Amino acid sequence: MALKKEGTEIKAYIFITCLVDTFFPHVGESMVEVLRRIGVDLDFLGDQTCCGQPAFNSGYHSDAKILAKRFLSLFDRDDYIVCPSGSCTSMVKIFYKELFKNNPEMHEIIERVSLRTHEFSDFIVNVLKMKDVGAYYAGKVTYHDSCHLLRELKIKDEPRKLINSVKGIDFIEMNNSDSCCGFGGTFSIKFPDVSVSILDEKLENIINTGAEAVVSADMGCLMQIGGALKRRKIPIETMHLAELLASDRG
């Protein structure tokens, strides 16, 4: 049954990030599974590409503007836009304004699109007003706050409300859950020693919880954390929030 708000069916476009599209398509599939399960009518724009964040963060603002204009022209429609990433969502909602700070005409378009753009957990909790999406997971998990989701979008409680509503789950907060994992996009490439030092502290906090899985809302963080866990043969699974909420295994 389609979900309705004020008598109108809830419709949304899927905004898939480059990392999810290239390396972790199952995360996008999990997000679709969860949103369809709770009745959201979804559509996917096949012409979508990068939002421009990597170019913007690296100082290539002319290239970032080209990609941002493409994104805005594609998604300047009437329905919600949902993304499985705080990082890419913050690019649209916050940094597009900075990218076009001297262009009032673009600001009107950015305002229209950004108001309808939501990170996955924000969309379910704050737009749909839901917490229990019918997930079941029998295991102990902890949660890592990704920097953009927490610091730029101020989203902290929403993922925790969703996790705590999963039936069968044992949720354990780690110490300093809001500390960085050391990824930071090209930061981890430009400053590998600093990145690994930050990551070591994050891994210690994860391990100390005794959790079987660490959950987050950004695949950049999980790629950084998961890679280190595998290289060090530490048997802790990494899982995007959408994967957890799509789970129904015992």
Give the whole-angstrom CA distance, residue 197 versus residue 64: 30
Taking only the tens place, the pLDDT of each residue in 95-137 is 999 999 989 889 999 999 999 999 999 999 999 999 999 999 9
Give the whole-angstrom CA distance, residue 62 versus residue 58: 11
Taking only the tens place, the pLDDT of each residue in 175-229 is 999 999 888 878 888 888 888 899 999 999 999 999 999 999 999 999 999 999 9
Q: Are 85 and 52 in contact (CB under 8 A)?
A: no
User: What is the side-by-side strand order in the sheet with 41-44?
Assistant: 41-44, 11-14, 80-83, 117-119
Per-residue pLDDT band for 250 (boundaries 50, 70, 90) equals very low
Give the whole-angstrom CA distance, residue 197 versus residue 200: 5
Q: Residue 7: its pLDDT value, please?
A: 65
Question: Which parts of the chain are beta strand (E)?
Answer: 4-5, 8-9, 11-14, 41-44, 80-83, 117-119, 136-143, 167-171, 213-216, 237-240
Give the whole-angstrom CA distance, residue 154 versus residue 175: 19
Q: Residue 1: its pLDDT value, please?
A: 57
CA distances from 15 to 99, 225, 249 (A): 20, 24, 27
Tokens of 89: 């969502």
Is the pLDDT reported for residue 67 higher than 80? yes
β-strands 4-5, 8-9: how paired? Answer: antiparallel
Hunting for tokens 């700070």 — which residue is that?
A: 101
